Amino acid sequence: MLYGRLSEFKEKEIKALIERGGELANVSGTVSSILADVLSKGDVALREYTQRFDGAMIDAIEVSRDEIENAYNSTDQELIKHLEIAANNIRKFHEAQMPEKMWFMQLSPGIELGQKATALASVGAYVPGGRASYPSTALMTIIPAKVAGVRKVVMCTPPGPDGKVNPLTLAAAKVAGADHVYRVGGVQAIAAMAYGTDSVMKVDKIVGPGNVYVTSAKMQIRDRAEIDFPAGPSEVLIIADESAYPAMVAADMIAQAEHDPQAVSVLVTNSETLASKVKEEVLKQAQSTIRGEIVGSSLKNAAILIAESIEQCIDFSNSFAPEHLEIITNDDETVLQKIEHAGSIFMGNYAPVPVGDYASGTNHVLPTAGYARMYSGLNIMHFLKISSIQRINKEGLATIMDTVISLAEKEGLQAHADAIRIRFSS
């Protein structure tokens, strides 16, 4: 774990922290090969790769309705209640994001301009497995698509060695409203949803997080299906001053670290006292966490940085462009106004990242590795297309006729100009 004053680190050390990630190129060849196999061999390739990577021999690729119902019915009702609470909050937040389905404005007499929002026809949600099950990701990816009005929402998630999907993930898929669920994960799942197979429906867009292989696959299939954004190993950056509680800040760093050995946890503070206490707490809390091996590996990527001022903390955060940003200061609102790049923002001592991971209602599928500089986290607009509309009568056309003709002729497009003239030729 890096620890010390920002001003004392070498430029290459800070650059390495800011430019985290960069592993896509290392796996692109392997990913390309799997994608090509699925494209040419379909379900046969899905079964082969599921056996190779998940240790499971599967026959039926689609999870049956009976299996989903049995998983839901066998899940503890207290857990179902909590899934419903989370789902309700996620639904409410994304309903609030919905734009007006259609609107018009009068530009001038005879010219009306408008916009129409239309949901995508089909979306594929990728829900990771591997080190843990992620029913929350089923809620986060499926519910917004359904709120937007997507007609077909399918889910891919890897099975366990027994060929079965985690029952709680299946229960979450039912709560969220998935139309189809497939027991296939990894690169092969992204390929199946992008290309379509005999068992897996081809979709227009694929959303959801994954490891570096899944992220690489999403980037490579964009000629067949759109994606949300690159979403790799998770990360948090915490801007804090002396008003933050050290144990809470440390707990938030540990919580992020337990995701994955590649996860990144960073504290940047203007308080040397806070930095010292958080470091002590991180080392203490890391010893008692259940996923200690993963946390230990992840903390090698962590950093506690001491800045000269909150302004320097903000500048560092904007350079880092974190997936998750926590702001714990005496003046959170002022800091918030100056943040330019962040996937999701959590304000105050009592808004840790896990509330957004599960139940506050905001989406936890977010751009990582600095991609928050150019991408928004998963939101309702990822599931909508916007069409512009023009409603123009002859009088309205007459007001812009000369402008259109002049520009068309200047570009050498005579037929464009004639398409205007013919409407006034009689």
Q: Does the annotation mark 180 as catalytic?
A: no
Task: Give the angle 150-151-152 at the CA atoms, nearest 5°.
Answer: 100
| Cα-Cα-Cα-Cα dihedral sign, residues 95, 99, 102, 103 | positive
Tokens 């519910």 -> residue: 143
CA distance 380 to 175: 18
Report residue 120 as tokens. Answer: 């995508």
Q: Does the annotation mark 341 as catalytic?
A: no
Catalytic-labelled residue, pool 323, 326, 341, 364: 323
Residue stretches of the annotated binding site for Zn(2+): 256, 259, 357, 416
Residue stretches of the annotated binding site for NAD(+): 126, 188, 211
Contact partners, residue 175, CB within 8 Å, separation at least 6: 72, 80, 83, 84, 87, 139
CA distance 315 to 332: 15
Catalytic-labelled residue, pool 94, 235, 281, 324: 324
Q: Count CB neighbours of 249 within 10 A.
A: 26
Residue stretches of the annotated binding site for substrate: 234, 256, 259, 324, 357, 411, 416
**117's torsion region: left (phi>0), alpha (psi -120 to 50) or beta?**
beta
Report residue 82 as tokens. Answer: 């909590």
Q: What's CA 6's distance to the chain center, in Å?
A: 30
Name which of 232, 248, 162, 191 is nearest 40 in CA terms.
Answer: 191
DSSP three-state, residue 315: helix
Report residue 9 as tokens. Answer: 């680190």
Annotated catalytic sites, by residue? 323-324
